[in-house]
Amino acid sequence: MRVLVVYATHYGATKGIGEKIAQTLEHADLDVVLRSADEDFTGLAAEGFDAFVIGSAIHAGGWIGSGVDFVRHNVDVLATRPTWLFSSGPVGDKSVGQPQEDPRQIAEFRRSLDVKDHVVFGGAFDPATADLSRANWLERQFVTHVMPAGDYRNWEQITAWSKAIAEVLSAVPVA
């Protein structure tokens, strides 16, 4: 079973989640490829993936551009394989413990893909290490004055979700 794990990250937290998911799937003896959504995916259909796990950071209530673009540009291939989606975003003690709404693109993705599950994981933000080179003035003001700093990723939750994916994929015969 060959699985492509794709992440779209802004400050690096979503990459870390993608790495943990890939590691967990590999421990279940699945053939896993981990890639950034910023990479060139020309010829994705020819790569012969049996399943996909795709995630993105959430900004302003939606996935960031590279994650949305990956799904939309590869919808024909993704629609023929089981796909799991994850989002990374809430930070701060007040936000992380609360139920999270799906990012605005998830409903669209559910209509066009075989989405097995979508989950929102807590994110992380460290202003000392964040690359703000792509941020506009307003975003820089928000992340330096309003956004809570800290790592709110729940590694046990991420691992459990990944193990559940591995169980499903390990029970499915390779096409």
Distance CA 173, CA 50 (A): 10
Half-sphere exposure of 63 (CA within 13 A, CB side): 29
Asked if pLDDT for residue 55 goes beyond 70, the answer is yes
Cα of 153 vs its chain's centroid, Å: 13
Q: Count the domains in the chain.
A: 1
Residue 33, phi then psi, degrees to nearest 5: -120, 130
Which candidate, 71, 69, 58, 153, places its Cα nearest to that of 103? 58
pTM of this prediction? Answer: 0.89
Per-residue pLDDT of 94-133, as tens digits, reads 777 777 889 999 999 999 999 999 999 988 888 777 777 7
Domain boundaries, position 128: 2-171
On the question of pLDDT at 11 being above 90, the answer is no
CATH assignment of the domain containing 136 = 3.40.50.360
By CB neighbour count within 10 A (0-12 exposed, 13-18 middle, 19+ buried), where does 160 fall? exposed
DSSP string, 94-112: HHHTS--PPPTTHHHHHHH
Nearest to 88 by CA among 21, 171, 166: 21
Kindly report which listed range (9-13, 44-48, 53-57, 134-138) carries the lowest average pLDDT score. Answer: 44-48
Phi and psi at residue 118, in whole multiples of 5°? -135, 135
